Every structure is written in structure tokens, then in C-alpha cells.
Amino acid sequence: MKRRSFVKASILTGAASAVLPGISMGETSSKKSDQQLYELRVYSLKNDTQQKLVEDYLQNAAIPALNRLGSKNVGVFTELKPDGQTRIFVLIPYNSIDDFLKVQDKLMADSTYMQQASAYLNAPLATPAYDRIESSLLQAFIDMPKLETPGEQKRIFELRRYESPTEASGKKKIEMFNEGGKEIGIFKRLGFKPVFFSETLIGTFRPNLVYMITFDDMDAHDRLWKAFGNDPDWKRISTSAEYPNEIVSHITSTMLVPASYSQI
């Protein structure tokens, strides 16, 4: 095994063991093979020049190459109301751990990708393509195992992260979305049009879950969240002693708009 592949496999195996104690990597893959993995990549930028370089790379090199490798529906978003230079959010779906592990080697072996990505990959040290990249590896929830696209109509997106104080409380919150409270069903019934729900396997601010929902506009956003708060099923779940408020310690919400070339 190549050293790079060995290191990546070792890191992921360790992370999976921490998240799913007592289950080997092979067992995890076989039992949850229908659940997609997502890389959520966030580019921090200093100026418009960097933004154009990264967006040109994503549109003309990365997305076509990822599509050729089987990662369909790659999403690219900028902030609706950025505080200074916008960050760029990239959502890349993978059908398996193996696909994720091998993607970088396959991209580097793709001559078309390497040619199209040259300006980005070989940006001078004095004028780098970006400030930093923050990446998280996410696993789709059982009740929504694959990404769903909301259609081509104009929409805004909300990316939400729920942090929990402990791994146990984080799992309890995930249960609310799945077999316990069925929060996912409430979202869909009310018309939120979710894109994905996931648990963060590797990334910052763990333990946490991350999901994305969409709206026609901010009026729809406000109306649907009000309906969610008043929904009888949600009131029943949220006041249940089984799911106390303390299982979530912090919520981060980021409003996004899709790039013109985004596949979500």
C-alpha cells in the first residue's frame, strides 16, 4: 500500500472507531453501504482574485473531474450576507469510504483535470489561491441516506450545525432525526426541502451533526421555521423527557446562495 493511502486509511479507521466503538471499518462499510459520505469543504479567501481563481477551478476542473469519478451533484455556495470576503462552501458526495480515500490519487492521474486545474494547483506562494481550506467528513443519516437536490428554481440554502456536549448526547440528538422523533419527516412534511442530514465523523467542533435545507426566499424561511416551532409533532418531541434541550449546546446557522454552476 502506498504510504499516502496507508496514512489516510489509518486516520479514517481511527476516527470510525472513535465514533462507532466496537465496530471495525469493514463492518461499518458493509452495514451502512447505502449511506453516502459527504466532504464539506470551506474556503477562506482574502480577496476577489482568490475567489475567482477558486471558482474557476471548481467550475472548470474539480466538478467535471469529480463527476467523471462518480461524485454527482457537487454543490458550491457563497454566503448570502458575508462579513467581508465571502467564504466558498463545497459539498462533495461519495458513495463509499473507498471512493473518498482514492479521490485525490485519481484526480492527480487525470490529465484533463491537471491541465484545467493548473492555475489553482500551481498558484505562486506570494499569491496563493486561498487563505485556508477547512474540511469535514460527514456520514448521511439512516432516514435520509442520500443527498436530494431541490430542483433548478431559484432558492436559498441554510446550513446548520448542532454541537452536543458529549458523544452520547450527540447520538441522542441524531436519534431525534431518525428512529426516535422523526424530525426529518417533519421537515419534509412542512416543505423545507432538505438536501442532506449528516453526522460529522472527522472535523471541527465535534460531536456535531450538520444538515442543509432550502427555501424560496427569506420570507419562506421565516414562515417555515415558525411553522416548525408550532408543529404538534415537534412540540411533542421537544418537550419529551427523552430528548432534553441539553443534548444540543450550540447551533450555527449559515445562509447560502448557490453558484451559477452549482449542481445543487
pLDDT of residue 181: 60
Q: What is the CA angle 187-72-45, rounded to 5?
A: 85
What does the mean pLDDT of the chain come to?
A: 89
CA terminus-to-terminus distance, the chain? 35
User: For the packed helices 97-108 and 3-19, what is the interaxial angle rounded to 10 degrees?
Assistant: 150
Fold of 3-9+33-258: Alpha-Beta Plaits (3.30.70)
Each residue of 16-30: pLDDT tens digit? 444 443 333 444 444
Query: Which of 6-10, 55-59, 117-121 comes out lowest in average pLDDT?
Result: 6-10
Segments of 45-140 assigned E as strands: 75-79, 88-94, 132-140
* Residue 39 CA: distances (Å) to CA of 99, 106, 109, 191: 11, 16, 20, 26
Task: Please state the pTM of the whole predicted model.
Answer: 0.86
Tell me the three cell numbers of residue 145: 441516506
Q: Which amino acid is at 235?
A: K
Pair 164, 170: CB distance under 8 Å: yes
Examine residue 207 and say whether the peptide bond preceding it is cis (omega within 30 degrees of 0).
yes
pLDDT of residue 180: 60
Each residue of 145-188: pLDDT tens digit? 999 999 888 999 999 999 999 999 999 999 999 876 689 999 99
Q: Domain residues of the chain, as ranges?
A: 3-9+33-258
Structure confidence at residue 3 as a pLDDT band (50, 70, 90): very low
DSSP 87: P
Tell me the three cell numbers of residue 1: 500500500
